[in-house]
Structure 1
Amino acid sequence: MSSSVPSLANLLKQTDIEDHEEVLEAADATLKQSKGDLDTQHVRVIALLKLDRYEDAVKALESGGAKLKDRARLEHSYALYKAEAAEIAREGSERGFQHVEAQARYRTEDFRKAAELYQQLASRPEDDAEADLRINTGAVDAQLEWSGLGELVRKKKPGREDLEAFETAYNAACGCIARGELGQGEVLLKRARDLCNALEDLSEEEKQAELLPISVQQVYILARLGRQDEAESLARGLDVRSVPDASTRHIAQVNGVAASATPSNPFLAQRLVTKDLQTLKPDYPFQFQSSILNQNRYATDLQALKFGGTADSIATLISKQTSPNLETFHNSLSVVNAAAHARCQTGKEALKHILPLLEKRPTDVGLILTIVQLYVLTGNHASAIKLLEGFSNRLEQSGSAAELDVRFAPGLVGATVSLYRSQGRRGHEESELAKAATHWRRKTKERPAGAVQLLKAAGGVLVESSEAEHQKLASNLFTELHNQDSDDRYAAAGTIAASPNTASPTQTASLTPIERLVAGIDVEALENAGIAQPTPTSGAAVTTRKRPAEETKPKKAKKIRKSRIPKEYDPNKAPDPERWLPLRDRSTYRPKGKKGKARANLLSQGAAPAGDSDGSRPGTPGGEVVKAKQQQGGGAGKKKKGKGGKW
Structure 2
Amino acid sequence: MASTNSSLASLLKKTTTDDHDAFLQASEQTLQSSKDDSQAQQVKAIALLKLERYTDASKYFEQNQRLQKELPEAYAYCLYKSGNFEGAAQIASGVQESRGAQHIALQAAYRAENWDVANQSYEKLMKQRRPDEEFDLRVNKLALEAEGLWLEKLSAAAAPKATRQDLDAFETAYNAACISVSKGQLLEADVLLKRAISTCEHHAELSPQDKAVELAPLKAQRVFVLQKLGNSEEASSVAKEVEAILDGVSVDAATRKLAQNNVTTTAGDITNPFITHKLFNQSSLPKNERLFSNQSSALTSNERTIQLQTFKYDGLIAAARKRLSGDSLPSVSSDVLLMSMFSAAAHARSEVSKAAINKVLPELEKRPNDVGLVVTLVQMYVLIGNTTAAVDLMHTFFTRLEASGTEKDKDIRNSPGLVGLMVSLYRSQGRRSQLKQELAKSASYWRSKSKAPPSLLRAAGVALLESSNSEDAKAASEIFDKLYSQEPNDRSTVAGYVASHASAPTSDIKSLATKLTPISDLTAGIDIDALENAGIPQSANALAIAQAGQGRKRAAVDSLTSNKKKRIRKSRLPKDYDPNKKPDPERWLPLRDRSTYKPKKKKGKKDDRTQGGGNVNEALDISKQPTGAGSEVVTGNTGGGKKNKKKGKK
Instruction: Verify same fold: TM over 0.5.
Output: yes
Aligned counterparts, 1:626-641, within 5 A: none
**2:8 and 2:26 in contact (8 A); partners too:** no
- Cα deviation 1:384-411 (Å, max 9, x = unaligned): 2222122212222222221111111111
Identity %, equivalent residues: 38
How far, CA to CA, are the matches of 2:219 and 2:531 in structure 1?
A: 56
**1:460 and 1:494 in contact (8 A); partners too:** yes
Aligned counterparts, 1:567-582, within 5 A: none
| SS of corresponding position for 2:518 | helix
Instruction: Give the C-alpha shift of residue 92 in structure 1.
Output: 2.1
Question: What residue in structure 2 maps to residue 262 of structure 1?
Answer: 269
Q: 1:483 aligns with which of 482, 485, 493?
A: 485
**1:245 and 1:283 in contact (8 A); partners too:** no
| SS of corresponding position for 2:349 | coil
Question: What residue in structure 2 maps to residue 199 of structure 1?
Answer: 203
Structure 2 residue identity aligned to 1:304: T
Instruction: Give the C-alpha shift of residue 413 in structure 1.
Output: 0.7
Question: What residue in structure 1 maps to residue 79 of structure 2?
Answer: 80
Instruction: Give the C-alpha shift of residue 459 in structure 1.
Output: 1.3
Instruction: Give the C-alpha shift of residue 307 in structure 1.
Output: 2.8
- Cα deviation 1:532-560 (Å, max 9, x = unaligned): 98999xxxxxxxxxxxxxxxxxxxxxxx9
How far, CA to CA, are the matches of 1:495 and 1:99 in structure 2?
A: 40
Instruction: Give the C-alpha shift of residue 117 in structure 1.
Output: 1.3
How far, CA to CA, are the matches of 1:107 and 1:522 in structure 2?
A: 47
How far, CA to CA, are the matches of 1:271 and 1:584 in structure 2?
A: 85
CA spacing shift, 1:384–1:532, aligned 2, 3 Å: farther
How far, CA to CA, are the matches of 1:436 and 1:99 in structure 2?
A: 40
Question: What residue in structure 2 maps to residue 640 of structure 1?
Answer: none
Question: What residue in structure 1 maps to residue 606 of structure 2?
Answer: none
Instruction: Give the C-alpha shift of residue 147 in structure 1.
Output: 4.2
- Cα deviation 1:37-56 (Å, max 9, x = unaligned): 87776666555444334455
Q: Is 2:186 aligned against 1:182? A: yes
Q: 1:393 aligns with which of 396, 399, 417?
A: 399
**1:479 and 1:491 in contact (8 A); partners too:** no
Structure 2 residue identity aligned to 1:268: I
| SS of corresponding position for 1:518 | helix
Q: Is 2:164 aligned against 1:160? A: yes
Instruction: Give the C-alpha shift of residue 414 in structure 1.
Output: 1.0
Structure 2 residue identity aligned to 1:454: L
How far, CA to CA, are the matches of 1:65 and 1:310 in structure 2?
A: 42
Q: Is 2:520 aligned against 1:509? A: no
Aligned counterparts, 1:36-435, within 5 A: 46-55=46-55, 66=66, 72-81=71-80, 82=84, 83-94=86-97, 95-151=99-155, 154-237=158-241, 238-239=243-244, 240-241=246-247, 242-274=249-281, 280-320=286-326, 322-435=328-441
Structure 2 residue identity aligned to 1:318: L
CA spacing shift, 1:20–1:225, aligned 2, 3 Å: same
- Cα deviation 1:267-325 (Å, max 9, x = unaligned): 23324435896x51333333333333233222222211233443343233233353221
Question: What residue in structure 2 maps to residue 437 of structure 1?
Answer: 443
User: Cα RMSD between the aligned structures?
Assistant: 4.4
Structure 2 residue identity aligned to 1:91: G
| SS of corresponding position for 1:102 | helix
Structure 1 residue identity aligned to 2:90: E
**1:492 and 1:507 in contact (8 A); partners too:** no
CA spacing shift, 1:437–1:37, aligned 2, 3 Å: same
Question: What residue in structure 1 maps to residue 644 of structure 2?
Answer: none
Instruction: Give the C-alpha shift of residue 482 in structure 1.
Output: 1.6
Q: Highest Rg: 1 or 2?
A: 1
Structure 2 residue identity aligned to 1:80: L
**2:156 and 2:183 in contact (8 A); partners too:** no
Question: What residue in structure 2 maps to residue 496 of structure 1?
Answer: 498
Instruction: Give the C-alpha shift of residue 245 in structure 1.
Output: 1.1
**1:138 and 1:172 in contact (8 A); partners too:** yes
Which residues of structure 2 form unaligned runs of 5+?
540-561, 563-579, 586-590, 603-650
How far, CA to CA, are the matches of 1:65 and 1:42 in structure 2?
A: 12
How far, CA to CA, are the matches of 1:367 and 1:338 in structure 2?
A: 6
Instruction: Give the C-alpha shift of residue 495 in structure 1.
Output: 2.7
CA spacing shift, 1:283–1:532, aligned 2, 3 Å: same
Structure 2 residue identity aligned to 1:301: Q
Question: Which region of structure 1 is more displaced relative to structure 2, 77-86 or 504-513?
Answer: 504-513
Question: What residue in structure 1 maps to residue 575 of structure 2?
Answer: none
Instruction: Give the C-alpha shift of residue 191 in structure 1.
Output: 1.3
CA spacing shift, 1:169–1:535, aligned 2, 3 Å: same
Q: 1:473 aligns with which of 475, 484, 490?
A: 475
Instruction: Give the C-alpha shift of residue 235 in structure 1.
Output: 3.1
Question: What residue in structure 1 maps to residue 464 of structure 2?
Answer: 462
Aligned length: 553
Q: Compute the TM-score of the two structures, normalised by the length of structure 1.
A: 0.73
CA spacing shift, 1:535–1:504, aligned 2, 3 Å: farther
CA spacing shift, 1:244–1:496, aligned 2, 3 Å: closer
**2:443 and 2:457 in contact (8 A); partners too:** yes
How far, CA to CA, are the matches of 2:404 and 2:11 in structure 1?
A: 71
How far, CA to CA, are the matches of 2:370 and 2:315 in structure 1?
A: 21
How far, CA to CA, are the matches of 2:115 and 2:40 in structure 1?
A: 36
Structure 1 residue identity aligned to 2:187: G
Question: Which region of structure 1 is more displaced relative to structure 2, 515-524 or 158-167?
Answer: 515-524
How far, CA to CA, are the matches of 2:480 and 2:517 in structure 1?
A: 24
How far, CA to CA, are the matches of 1:522 and 1:149 in structure 2?
A: 36
| SS of corresponding position for 2:363 | helix
**1:462 and 1:471 in contact (8 A); partners too:** yes
Aligned counterparts, 1:483-632, within 5 A: 483-500=485-502, 502-512=504-514, 516-519=518-521, 521=524, 525=528, 529=532
| SS of corresponding position for 1:402 | helix
Instruction: Give the C-alpha shift of residue 167 in structure 1.
Output: 1.0
